[in-house]
Amino acid sequence: MNDTDSAGEVPDTFEAYVAGRSDARFTDWLRARAQPDWSSAVEHRFVEELAAGTLEDAIFRRYLLGDYAFLDSLTGAFGHAVGDAPDMAARSRLVDFLAVLTDDEDDYFERSFEALDVPASAYTDPEQTDTTRAFEDLLGRAAHEGSYAETLAVLVPAEWIYLSWADQHADSEPGTFYLREWIDLHANDEFRSFVGWLREELDREGAAASPQRRERLDELFRRTVELEVEFFETAYTDGSEQSSGGEDAW
């Protein structure tokens, strides 16, 4: 089974996926189940144009504003995962990444907004799109109605998709610093290691979960991937698209 397999060709259960595979991983099964949306996100025209340096500033501006609006919910979800983490080593790893989100990435956003002539009023009180609201709803419900595994089922695809497309374009030279650095933030050894660790955490949780809970984790993972595609599309439609929302993730 490869990355381009559609969800319909992948077994409905992890038990069936594992059969005959000595190296089967729960996160590989989830990714395969998320096709074709996974490939649509990783190979989206947004990331292709970003890497080529042909992405219009207006599109990247809308994208960054949406991403910045989502950052607060993302840090909240990681904070919730810290509380649910099984041990101090896991909590320490999550706290370290929280520092990256609130320091390195926040600094990047501020410099990029200045370069893109985005007034402070636009990003300190950003206008949310349907997709951003759906993402926030999904994160919040996964964290508060589930537990560590449910939160990971949303965080893993969100971070893994960015690692995947950024790694594909790690050698690109798009020109402007805000495009180049956005790739660099997601194509480096520290981020690769962190995403690998996140996957291991979800692999362990998924392997130990009941069949019913695995189905729930699968739904959360796939809904996150769908929303990542919508999020890229929103930058082109100026937020006028109508997302199906986060409610049907469960």
Q: Give the domain CATH number at 44.
A: 1.20.910.10
- 245 inside domain: yes
The tally of domains found in the chain comes to: 1
pLDDT in tens, 19-76: 978 889 999 999 999 999 999 999 999 999 999 999 999 999 999 999 998 888 888 8
For 69, the 3-state DSSP assignment is helix
Q: Which domain holds residue 87?
A: 24-249
Tally Cβ neighbours within 10 Å of residue 158. 21
Tell me the backbone φ, ψ of residue 181, rounded to 5 degrees: -70, -30
Predicted TM-score of the model (pTM): 0.90
pLDDT in tens, 124-182: 888 788 898 999 899 888 888 889 999 999 999 999 999 999 999 999 999 999 999 99
- 32 inside domain: yes
pLDDT exceeds cutoff 80 at 1: no
- 5 inside domain: no
The residues near 154 (Cβ < 8 Å, ≥ 6 apart) are 77, 138, 139, 142, 220, 221, 224
pLDDT in tens, 195-228: 999 999 999 999 999 999 999 999 999 999 999 9
- 216 inside domain: yes
- 8 inside domain: no
Tally Cβ neighbours within 10 Å of residue 156. 25
In this structure, the chain runs to a length of 250
pLDDT exceeds cutoff 60 at 241: no
